[in-house]
Amino acid sequence: MAMKKSVLDFYEMKKKGEKITFLTAYDFPTAQFAEAAGLDMLLVGDSLGMCVYGYRGTLPVVMDQMIYHADAVRRGAPNTFVIGDMPFMSYQSSLEKAVENAGRFLKEADCDAIKLEGGVRIAPQINALVEAGIVVMGHIGLTPQSSGQLGGHKAQGRTAETARLVVEDARAVQEAGAQMILLEAIPPEVGRYITEDLDIPVLSIGAGPHCDGQLLIVSDAIGQFQAFTPKFVKKYCNVAAMVTDAMKAYAAEVRGGDFPGDEHCYKMIEGEEEKFLELIES
Ligand code: KIV
């Protein structure tokens, strides 16, 4: 079994040019699969709002939901670096609230780090968390919790001026003390610039191939989430089709009397059937 990696290992991987592998996970079995597959990091993302609960976005997700899922993921992947994602309004309104809620991920779900969205404007929160001894991953570019302000789930930094703003956000996150950063939905040129500019490991979800590692939403990667597919997604299998086919086959066998077969039935102890019939009819 591989040793659980720490943030220092991720710095070392950046230095050596070894790519960091990163997926979301929301439950115990998926976490087990990810650990067996040797993933370096798991994010218990608030994307579970859409992928698990069927909400239209991430805004309704609350801390208690995140803690329940993070706790299950930790049990499934005890030797993998697990990051808890701070849901909407768990950190924006005050530094105290941010520290209290981030602390819950560590105390109640044994997470290794937390992630929160925002650059320059969220730097005071990042600093407060780091001062409290918490490992922080920043998240900039397309930030789904503020997608209303961005005019929807749109790629960011596609013009020179907006790309400059993304770089400013990245620098603010590092200066505030975050030990890792995630870039979402920006052009690869900007992803490359930030990866070379920053000392901290830079993870990408839709920020091109030059970053220090890659993240995908597991429900996208395995073809489970069907509402929409962002441009940066690659599907490695089609779980939705596999599971639907399996369920159709099950229903057909039940309707046709083919399931359960003999091999799925418990046998009575030898001689007990006759005794049972006598007993029941007397
Ligand atoms: O919640 C999540 O899974 C995320 C990703 C979209 C980066 O924050």
- In angstroms, the CA 197 to CA 228 distance is 33
Q: What pLDDT shows up at residue 109?
A: 98
What pLDDT shows up at residue 218? 98
Distance CA 119, CA 61 (A): 21
The rounded distance, in Å, linking the Cα atoms of 43 and 47 is 10
End-to-end CA separation in angstroms for the chain: 61
Measured from the Cα of 144, ligand 1's closest atom is: 6
Q: Which of 224, 130, 259, 183 is nearest to 22 (CA)?
A: 183
Q: Is 112 in the pocket of ligand 1 (CB under 6 A)?
A: no
Chain-wide mean pLDDT for the chain?
97
Give the residue, by CA position, lying nearest to ligand 1 atom 6: 47
219 lines ligand 1 (CB under 6 A): no
Ligand 1 contact, 35 CB (< 6 A): no
Residues 6 or more apart in contact with residue 96 via CB below 8 angstroms: none
Q: Is 85 in the pocket of ligand 1 (CB under 6 A)?
A: yes
Q: DSSP assignment of 129-160, as one string?
A: HHHTT--EEEEEES-GGGHHHHTSS-----SH
Q: Is 131 a catalytic residue?
A: no
The confidence score (pLDDT) of residue 1 equals: 67
What is the spatial distance between Cα 206 and Cα 231, in angstroms, rounded to a whole number? 8
- Which one of the listed residues 184, 196, 270, 273 is annotated catalytic? 184
Residues 204, 195: Cα–Cα separation, whole Å: 10
Residue nearest ligand 1's atom 4 by CA: 45
Going from the Cα of 45 to the center of ligand 1, the distance in angstroms, rounded, reads 5
Residue ranges of the chain with pLDDT lower than 70?
A: 1
Enumerate residues 6+ apart whose C-beta is below 8 A from 233: 216, 217, 220, 221
| Residue 217 CB less than 6 A away from ligand 1 | yes
Share of the chain above pLDDT 90, in %: 95
What tokens does 243 get? Answer: 């599971």
Question: What gap in Å lies between CA 136 and CA 205, rounded to an integer?
Answer: 17
Task: Give the pLDDT confidence score for residue 3 in this predicted structure.
Answer: 87
Q: Whose CA is nearest to atom 8 of ligand 1?
A: 45
Residue among 62, 85, 202 whose CB has most ligand 1 atoms within 8 A, to mutate: 85
**pTM for this one?**
0.96
Domain boundaries, the chain: 7-237, 242-281
Q: Evaluate: CB of 83 within 6 angstroms of ligand 1.
A: no
Give yes or no for a contact between 218 and 28, defined as CB atoms under 8 angstroms apart: no
pLDDT at 77: 98
**pLDDT by residue (tens digit) across 209-240?**
999 999 999 999 999 999 889 999 999 999 99
For residues 132 and 203, what is the distance between their CA atoms, to the nearest angstrom?
Answer: 23
CB of 25 within 6 A of ligand 1: the answer is no
Which residue's CA is minimally distant from atom 2 of ligand 1? Answer: 45
Class of domain 7-237: alpha beta
Hey, how many other C-beta atoms are within 10 angstroms of the C-beta on 189?
Answer: 12
